[in-house]
Amino acid sequence: MRADPIKSTQEAVMTATATIRDVWCLHAATGTDVGVNEAIADLAESIPLDELGLGSLESVVRGIPSAVQMIDTARSDPDDLYITTDTAGGLDHSIWPGGEQTTSIQAGQSAQPGIDVPVSFAQNVSLWDFDSVSSDDLLGSVQIREDEQGRGNIAKLAKSDVEGSVYYVTYAVN
């Protein structure tokens, strides 16, 4: 019995489908940006240490990371999350939540997109934080591979050292 060449060609073109089940936020993006960090760092150049009773310049400079952390903790801004399958970002590229919307998410929270993404060889899935004032921030990406098909739920780390964000994306490839 001969193989059907049309059916074989169709099977070769078919791709796997990944279902994005869960996005869990371990740490949202920092509430302070590079500009704020630089502004705080620049303060050490102009602080009258003796007048303010702050001691040595060294102690002030060593305290700057703590100050930035305190500002970030006090603000605890949520990420305005959306997902794309490219690295360009932009709500117009969003595959979830759709309709140029975002989902507010903070550390310890999760979202269940329940979306299907076609996967041919490999597919990028990127998490973004919408920013109405400047460009959106890339929170992290994962690569879903077609050869993960049939392995059940897989959780991959998506993080950004620049933004300070840490997420796990759980999916299954069928």
pLDDT at 79 over 60: yes
Model confidence band, residue 15 (pLDDT cutoffs 50, 70, 90): confident
The sign of the CA dihedral 36, 41, 47, 49 is positive
* CATH tag for 5-29+77-173 (out of 3.90.940.20, 2.60.40.10, 2.30.110.10, 2.60.40.150): 2.60.40.150
Q: Please tell me the distance from the alpha carbon of residue 129 to that of residue 138, in angstroms, as a whole number.
A: 6
For 87-139, the pLDDT digits (tens) are: 888 999 999 998 899 999 999 999 999 999 999 999 999 999 998 888 899 99
Using CA atoms, how far residue 173 sits from 11, 50, 82, 90, 140, in Å, is: 17, 63, 21, 26, 20
pLDDT at 45 over 50: no
Residue among 92, 145, 89, 147 at smallest CA distance from 122:
145
Q: What is the DSSP letter of 5?
A: H
